[in-house]
Structure 1
Amino acid sequence: MGTYSQKNSFQALKDLQVGSAHYKIFSLQAAQTQLDDFSQLPKSLKVLLENLLRFEDDLTVKTEHILALVNWQKTQRSDQEIQYRPARVLMQDFTGVPAVVDLAAMRAAVAKAGVDPEKINPLSPVDLVIDHSVMVDYFATPQAFEENVDIEMQRNGERYQFLRWGQSAFDNFSVVPPGTGICHQVNLEYLAQAVWTAEHDGEKFAFPDTLVGTDSHTTMINGLGVLGWGVGGIEAEAAMLGQPISMLIPEVIGFKLTGKLKEGITATDLVLTITQMLRQKGVVGKFVEFYGDGLADLPLADRATIANMAPEYGATCGFFPVDEITLDYLRLTGRSAERIALVEAYCKAQGLWRNTGDEPIFTDVLSLDMGTVQASVAGPKRPQDRVVLADIPQVFDALMALDLKPAKEDKERLMNEGGAGAAVDAKQSALQNDEPHCVIEGKRYPLVDGDVVISAITSCTNTSNPSVMLAAGLLAKKAVEKGLHRKPWVKSSLAPGSKVVTDYLAAAGLTPYLDQLGYNLVGYGCTTCIGNSGPLPKPIEDAIQCYDLNVASVLSGNRNFEGRVHPLVKTNWLASPPLVIAFGLMGTIRKDITQEPLGVDSQGQAVYLKDIWPTQAEIDAALQKVNTQMYHKEYAEVFDGDEKWQAIQIPDSQTYEWNPQSTYIRHPPFFDGIDQPAKPIQDIVNANILAVLGDSVTTDHISPAGNIKVDSPAGRYLLAQGVAQKDFNSYGSRRGNHEVMMRGTFANIRIKNEMLGGEEGGNTLYIPTGEKLAIYDAAMKYQATQTPLVIIAGKEYGTGSSRDWAAKGTNLLGVKAVVAESFERIHRSNLVGMGVLPLQFVNNQSRQSLNLTGHEQLSIRGLSDELQPHQSLNVELKRADGSIEQFKVLCRIDTLNEVEYFKAGGILHYVLRNLIAS
């Protein structure tokens, strides 16, 4: 973590007395007497300022950095790079397992170099929550939870053994076992303290609770006034090993909230509206801070829902200052009276408390009267694409028209070419004669485009919010009382983010109704929101494939990118938990759910959404069932786990005993040769293009996620290792095996490579022979001839989850640079952290303006150990006809620290080399 400021240039070190407790603090008010007035700084920047004062060392934090943050108030922007040290790190298991694999590999590397392996240890507290591994294999039965937990333990026993070893081998490293909750909800309800305390040189210090996490939605904790955001696993590992996070002082967009939500409007409707507004504004790489007197009526769970979706609106974080509502939530969730008193006293003393009428100075401002928010969903492919509830059918029909147009053109082309068109006609004729349908338990049902096949209450975004969860339970109760049923083709599930949810649903008497509609508990974890939706019933899958149907999912999550929820479900809609159930009852998105009946009651009368939608008074009455005892009960033994977890045997060793036969945990090659000097940076010469990609290519497209196809490179590898297809598990569960992950990089079935005319699937053109190959197979052929590779892309490259394997896999495929129109913040950082050069087109150039087809070779000139942040570089473009052109790119290595990381081969390589050298 570094040493607390011995310099104390601004006399900020002071005492704070809270009751009988005594704390040392770095006082912003005291520092202000030595500086210009900064009382109107955004409160999120005051948190950063305290961090700089506390770690001022004249090396990583200098007086000029502190002054730059104070002077921000005058200009509302800054080009100053600062070194930020968060108090702690949060991980989930998909990103946590490879992080612990890296730590274990680093221990092996330093041991090989003759250094004590115990020097590799987290210096900051690290909490890893196992929440990403449970899949919805079983659903709509009372046994679903137990059956899913059993199969989770069978599939992941080796990973869990590895994590238990890590918990015993590493200091400052805690694991929350499976079946407990989602990391962000556990963080909100238990781990976070709002104000952190730590012993240092015999004194007890108090300071803002801050963190980084290996999941994009770490931002959820900003709803509690805790500054936190997602970073790549690579950057998080460096942070836990004592490296500061290098960042530019951000712009801060103020978002003023006024008014109150109308009757029947949910926090989900509010967050989808805010997401759309901020995406349109453009806040990538910026802080968003919420303010305004509307916050006085905004429950903390609603704030957390809004903060959770910061990655969807593109911001680094969405920060809510601490106020009375924060304290009420801390009381409800069982934090100690001493901690709550400290939070209030500290935040008021530091100017971090929200007061009525606060008007900080911001870079820019948006505002929203919450009384204008309408019932909404988002979809069908992006979370920022908000759709008013009544408009879903038109949006879907327009999408279908777009999808059918290329099919018609393809058919005409095939007819002109002769022969093949007849096959198209034959298939269409067959479909016309046999209407699309499925057979479930011997009964035939029509199954057509727009039918809902997945209806999932999932994700921390909404399951952390008692209001919308109880609304779902109340809607289920009314639906059952009216005699409504979920449609037979709908796969339904309830996967809360903590056990407290099932406690309050039961206390409110709502569980039986959810169960009756098929929304039985399936697990405590992310499930459908991260692609762990599990298989659809075979009759449904067969019908979708046979009739080439465009079916839908409706989920209460935060992500709906193509190929994420389920590979056979093309359109995915984000909605509030009560709407998730309503669409499960209706069974289609092609009808206006606000006007058309959901079904008929026991008397044959039509039942409409308005007939079963709960009133605010009913929700408020149910909310009275949520109490502090529930939180005390469920978090009393949060790290213990069940008997299955406790029965896992672990080796007693400080270095991991790698199993060469393992298909889950393999010794990665990243640190091979780390005891040798780093090679100097050299120009990239005559690189081939591995893929040409369009706009908004997400880390879901790049990094392996979801199911492993049997005929994919990863599937073929597992079969060769003797793994049966039924035991493939998911890509996420095998993130500790680089052999699987590099084979799955760029293998998403929805990725479109323009080198193949935009054809979907993880293939490319291998230029030397002109053959179409899987991207992995082509990359290995290029590696065999020592040919460097580049990726060409459009805008917002790497948007989405903070998946470190999107960068690690890129590195292992031999990609030396990615040239894109713009980058998502975390992925750009991850690329640098893995020694891959991010380059940005300039002068309004793009792959289209340069007419890049993938047949070209690129040479990137001007690279050397003198490389500087944001340096302009020359690219030499050699076309297939031998002609040569030049164009400029901007080097997106953004800070001097990142230059040092890149020189060392990556951020972890930098840490290791320094450790070995010392």
Structure 2
Amino acid sequence: MADSFSTRDRLEVNGKSYAYASLAKLGKQFDLARLPYSMKILLENLLRHEDGGVTVGKEHIEAVARWDATAEPDTEIAFMPARVVLQDFTGVPCVVDLAAMRDAVARLGGSPEQINPLIPSELVIDHSVQVDVFGRADALDLNGKIEFERNKERYGFLRWGQNAFEDFKVVPPNTGIVHQVNLEHLARVVMERDVDGETWAFPDTVFGTDSHTTMINGIGVLGWGVGGIEAEAAMLGQPSSMLIPQVVGFKLTGRMPEGATATDLVLTVTQMLRSHGVVGKFVEFFGEGLQHLPLADRATIGNMSPEYGATCGIFPIDAEATRYMRLSGRSEEQIALVEAYAKAQGLWHEPGQTEASYSSVVELDMATVKPSLAGPKRPQDRVLLEDMKDNFNTNVTGFVANRKVGCAVHELATEGGDQPQADRLAAKPVSKISLDDGEHHLADGSVVIAAITSCTNTSNPAVMLGAGLLARNAVAKGLKAAPWVKTSLGPGSLVVTDYLKKAGLMDELEKLGFFVVGYGCTTCIGNSGPLPEAVSKGIAENDLAVAAVLSGNRNFEGRIHAEVKMNYLASPPLVVAYAIAGTVDIDLTSEPLGQDRDGKDVYLRDIWPSNREIGDTIAATVGPEMFAANYADVFKGDTRWNSMASPESELYPWDEASTYIKNPPYFDGMTMEVGAIEDIHGARVLGLFGDSITTDHISPAGSIKKDSPAGLFLQSRGVQPADFNSYGSRRGNDDVMVRGTFANIRIKNRFFGGEEGGNTLYFGSNPPEKMPIYDAAMKYKADGTPLVVIAGKEYGTGSSRDWAAKGTNLLGVKAVITESFERIHRSNLVGMGVLPLQFIEGESATSLGLDGTETFAITGLEDGAAKRATVTATATDGSSKVFQAEVMLLTPKEVEYFRNGGLLHYVLRQLAGRRGA
């Protein structure tokens, strides 16, 4: 290690001596007091990894030490995380790639053991459990059985990886959500690690293969979501190239008012920061309001960083962070190390200390936060609870504009005794359905899914116990959940179940149908499972725009359930309330939820627990003994996990018959020779899309339709539709995933106006032929025709889904031209050898008059040296439009990755080259 600024020092804690890179020593040479907390973390990372300029040089350290808050990012640095955390949807393809790299490095003359994680890498299986069974006491057990049966091949593969790779651990199913397990157990806050025989202390930093890795920012750990390919590179010792970011300060003042929750706060923050514009930037929270913000609330805010577009949303280490470490069962030795190290490095926050310099500042008085939801299809579209009825009625028209079925039903106004429901249903298309307790009516806005789900909120005792207290109060009034609502409770960890039981609130939730269905993401990731058959038929009968209300962080179109068009994010207590109401076509601030046993109206305000009661319940129920007990054997697993068969070998024995795990084709025919970045000629448009195309649109995680290319493929391999599982669970098989690329049922290719579905026009025939995108791509591949995708703003927002880039690559797409990219997806495209291009500011496909029928040439790339390329779009009549596009290869390292054909190819050549040397 180089040490140009003589910052090596020693720290004595717990009777142990630690080496560390001292920011205090560097501070004698530079003014570091003005640096934001997150910039100090980056600075320490560079000091510790200085290597004479091969990756980190003196000039990189100086660039961060002299950071200009207002300057546009233009300086590249290398960042090396301390560890990697994965979930199984993205983790399985990671391990598949590592297994494939073992095969490939051996073919290139290297050794399989060169492919091993070089930093701690932990995978939490949390994305696979589905809500097949709900509303009954045995739901958890039955869903677990189904989960293991569906995923035994994947889980056996992960067990192989756990044994085959060093420094790689797997947290088995039914333990919790990855981000909550990370917060409650895996996070070290300050790491200690032996390097060349010396014990070092340094900040805990993390890359995660899920965009909500940023939840860990709540405890002062700098980390963010990356694509699987970038995570794999980090696991193999490759630093990540990044531009020194701008840091937006978010000043919090005041304290939360009565009746407002952390969910309401984070939805407010998300809306504010989306409006401010923080894409590609760090966000750092500061201000006197921090002392009134519990760690769980901070984690809730950090979790939603992808929704407000930031790379991270970080809080500093302070007394609240160490209090939470103690609460969650961390050792006193670890807590002492964290406090001593943070104070020695100037990373410890005290109320009233001098504020850092920020690129810009946003301010929120938390006393102004009001109960809110977000929807019906984007997390940044916040709506006040009092405006929900108007929001529904405004938005529903767009969802039913093309409805060709349905009949007005007027006579309901005189039926039964529920006049408010009758008024809502009058003159609307209504479906009569028969359930176990009798006949009911479904209409637009009927809530058919009410799910307490997702890492965002199930980590937070205030909102979880708040939901339980509201359920208790509702049950006492005689209220019940509407019978057509699919209710579910997916706790983020076993600890949540323990404190709900200890508070006596689990029984109350169960009386309203909120039984534990599994410990995982469930509905938020799209694993909501099938609706009751009668409900499905009722929706289809009149093409109803029904709703889901969930305590999640994502509500993109087609994500939650294929039959549910409107999805609203809400706090867990509001999820319970809407389950009782049974509709979003209601103003819960002024209309009754229902009637009590005496027929009197019950309003939400009548059953909402006070902040004090919630706080008292937390104090009486949540303790360190729960965390210690539940995480004592966190990697061990249950009998189902430990009885699964898995191979024992250095190289994975691929099974050609498998539809889950397959050796991917990325490295087929690969040699040690590095290629060049060549111009593109004769390209056709595979898809012409609008704004806000998410990674869910590009690579769906949910159900596989039986008549889709992926469904037809699985059936050709003998898999019945009942056993399809989900796209997310089959990410280890490229045959399935490439067929699922752009196959989301809600995606709209502008070739067909507003029509939904993953189709395109194949221009290799005359006239052009409409067909599934996969089928057209394979025809183009056979023709030798390169492809481009054209889209609008915010392309690739959503989960850090590497298959959105892998599938794009395997379809034969050479370039994606958009008005703007989401950070992770752009990086993933580069990592998979797909060229990201951006229209010049103010230009778009629409302004340039492009309709997708043109043939495209992309020239002037200059082997990656060009900052702009020339795009020529030639129409069928021979006329052409010529325009410039920004080449979004942002760093020299990205250019190098691209020349190699992708990031993994670069790493492989590096490793094999070392072996040869």
With normalisation by structure 1, the TM-score equals: 0.96
Separation in structure 1 between the aligned mates of residue 162 and residue 472 of structure 2, nearest angstrom: 43
Counterpart mapping for 1:483-632 below 5 A = 483-624=478-619, 625-632=621-628
> Would you say 1:339 and 2:337 are equivalent positions?
no
AA aligned opposite 1:792:
I
SS state at 2:142 partner: helix
**Which residue of the partner structure matches residue 129 of structure 1?**
124
Q: Distance in 1 between matches of 2:186 and 2:409?
A: 60
Give the CA deviation at 1:863. Answer: 2.6
In structure 2, relative to structure 1, the CA distance for the partners of 1:750 and 1:766 (3 Å cut) is same
Shift of 1:434: 8.4
Residue 315 (structure 1) aligned to one of 310, 313, 324: 310
What's the counterpart of residue 645 of structure 1? 641
The one-letter amino acid paired with 2:127 is H
How far did residue 427 of structure 1 move?
7.4
Offset of 1:73 from its aligned partner? 4.3
Counterpart amino acid of residue 605 in structure 2: K
Matched residue SS, 1:190: helix
Q: Match for 1:693 among 685, 689, 706?
A: 689
User: What corresponds to 1:120 in structure 2?
Assistant: 115
The residue that corresponds to 2:37 in the other structure is: 43
Does the CA contact (< 8 Å) of 1:106 and 1:120 recur in 2?
yes
- Cα contact 2:94–2:229 (8 A) shared by 1: yes
Q: Distance in 2 between matches of 1:435 and 1:617?
A: 42
* Partner amino acid, structure 1, of 2:283: V
Confirm whether residue 906 of structure 1 aligns to residue 909 of structure 2: no
In the alignment, what sits opposite 2:822? 824
SS in 2 for 1:83: strand
Taking the aligned partners of 1:794 and 1:887, their CA distance within structure 2 comes to 16
Alignment of 1:701-716 (within 5 A): 701-716=697-712
Contact 2:549 2:570 in 1 (8 A): yes
Look up the equivalent residue of 1:682 and give its one-letter code: E
List aligned pairs for 1:654-733, cutoff 5 A.
654-733=650-729
Asked if 2 retains the 8 angstrom alpha-carbon contact of 1:529 and 1:557, the reply is yes
Match of 2:10 in 1: 15
Conserved in 1, the CA contact under 8 Å of 2:871 and 2:882? yes
| 1:159-308 equivalent positions in 2, closer than 5 A | 159-308=154-303
Find the counterpart in structure 2 of residue 761 from structure 1: 757
1:371 matches 2:367: yes
CA contact (8 A) 1:541 1:568 kept: yes
Deviation at 1:54, TM superposition (A): 0.4
Q: Tell me the residue number matched to 1:420.
A: none
| Alpha-carbon distance, 1:636 to partner | 0.1
Question: SS at the partner of 1:175?
Answer: strand
Q: Is structure 2 residue 91 aligned with structure 1 residue 96? A: yes
Residue by residue over 1:117-158, the C-alpha shift from the partner in whole angstroms, topping out at 9 and shown as x without a partner, is 111111111000000000000000000000000000000000
Contact kept, 8 Å, 1:76 with 1:252, in 2: the verdict is: no
Deviation at 1:436, TM superposition (A): 1.8
* Shift of residue 768, structure 1, vs aligned partner: 2.4
Q: Deviations over 1:156-190 (max 9, x none)?
A: 00000000000000001000000000000000000
Instruction: State whether structure 2 residue 874 is matched by structure 1 residue 878.
Output: yes
Query: Which whole-Å CA distance do the structure 2 matches of 1:400 and 1:476 have between them?
Result: 29
Find the aligned partners of 1:276 and 1:891 in 2 and give their Cα distance.
30
- Label 1:479 to 1:226 Cα distance change in 2 as closer, same or farther (>3 A): same
Residue deviations 1:721-755, cap 9 Å, x none? 00011000000000000000000000000000001
Instruction: Tell me whether 1:449 sits opposite 2:447 in the alignment.
Output: no
CA contact (8 A) 2:405 2:541 kept: no
Q: Which residue of 1 aligns with 2:770?
A: 772
Which residue does 2:56 correspond to in 1? 61
1:232-259 Cα deviation digits (max 9, x unpaired)? 0011001111110000000000000000
Structure 1 CA distance for aligned equivalents of residues 277 and 161 of structure 2: 40
Distance 1:709 1:660 in 2: 24
* Alpha carbons 1:872, 1:891 under 8 Å: kept: yes
**Which AA in structure 2 matches 1:380?**
P
Distance 1:97 1:433, change over 3 A: closer
Q: Which of 638-647 and 609-618 deviates more?
A: 609-618
Overall identity of the aligned pairs, in %: 60
Counterpart of 1:636 in 2: which secondary structure?
A: coil
Cα distance in 2 for partners of 1:862, 1:535 equals 51
- Contact 1:41 / 1:73 at 8 angstroms: preserved in 2? no
Does the 8 A contact of 1:76 with 1:362 survive in 2? Answer: no
1:144 aligns with 2:139: yes
Residue 410 (structure 1) aligns with: none
Deviation at 1:20? 1.2
Q: Which amino acid aligns with 1:292?
A: G
Distance in 2, Cα, partners of 1:73 & 1:679? 37
Cα pair distance change 1:110/1:433, threshold 3 Å: closer
Query: Which range moves more in the overlay, 375-384 or 611-620?
Result: 611-620
**Residue aligning to 2:801:** 803
Alpha-carbon distance in 1 for matches of 2:616, 2:437: 43
Aligned to 2:465: 470
**Aligned partner letter, 1:43:** Y
Q: CA deviation at 1:446?
A: 0.8
| Cα deviation, residue 884, structure 1 | 2.0
C-alpha displacement of 1:705: 1.4
TM-score, normalised relative to structure 2: 0.96
The AA in structure 1 aligned to 2:208 is G
Deviations 1:445-498 (A, max 9, x none): 010000100000000100000011000000111111111100000000000110
Q: Which runs of 5+ in 2 are unaligned?
A: 411-425
1:413-468 deviation per Cα after TM superposition (whole angstroms, max 9, x unaligned): xxxxxxxxxxx589789998984221112621010000100000000100000011
Query: Is the partner of 2:84 in helix, strand or coil?
Result: strand
Deviation at 1:830, TM superposition (A): 0.1
Query: Quick one: distance in 1 between partners of 2:859 and 2:37?
Result: 43
Shift of residue 767 of structure 1? Answer: 1.5
Question: Which 5+ residue runs of structure 1 have no aligned equivalent?
Answer: 1-5, 408-423
- 1:72 maps to 2:97: no
What amino acid maps onto 1:828 in structure 2? Answer: R
CA contact (8 A) 1:77 1:363 kept: no
- Specify whether residues 389 and 435 from structure 1 end up closer, same or farther in structure 2 by C-alpha distance, changes over 3 A only: closer
Q: Deviations over 1:641-698 (max 9, x none)?
A: 0001000122110000000000000111001112352333221101000010000100
RMSD: 1.5
Residues 43 and 352, structure 1, Cα contact 8 Å, conserved in 2: yes
Secondary structure of the corresponding residue to residue 449 of structure 2: strand
TM-fit CA distance, 1:372: 0.5
Deviation of 1:78 (Å)? 3.8
Structure-1 separation of matches of 2:69 and 2:903: 34
Q: Aligned-pair distance for 1:917?
A: 2.3
DSSP-derived class of the 1:665 partner = coil
Matched residue count: 894
Amino acid at match of 1:815: V
Q: Return the alpha-carbon distance in structure 1 between the equivalents of residues 204 and 146 of structure 2.
A: 37
Please state whether the residue corresponding to 1:82 is helix, strand or coil.
strand
Pairing of 1:855-870 with structure 2 (within 5 A):
855-865=853-863, 867-868=864-865
Tell me, in whole angstroms, the C-alpha distance in 2 between the residues paired with 1:822 and 1:365: 23
CA contact (8 A) 1:704 1:805 kept: no
Residue in structure 2 matched with residue 419 of structure 1 by the alignment: none
1:701 alignment partner AA: H
| Cα distance in 1 between the residues matched to 2:253 and 2:753 | 49
Distance 1:10 1:214 in 2: 34
Letter aligned with residue 847 of structure 2: S
**Partners of 2:72 and 2:346 in 1: how far apart?**
21
Q: Cα 1:593–1:74, aligned 2, differ >3 Å: closer, same or farther?
A: closer
Q: Is the 8 A contact 1:860 1:874 kept in 2?
A: yes
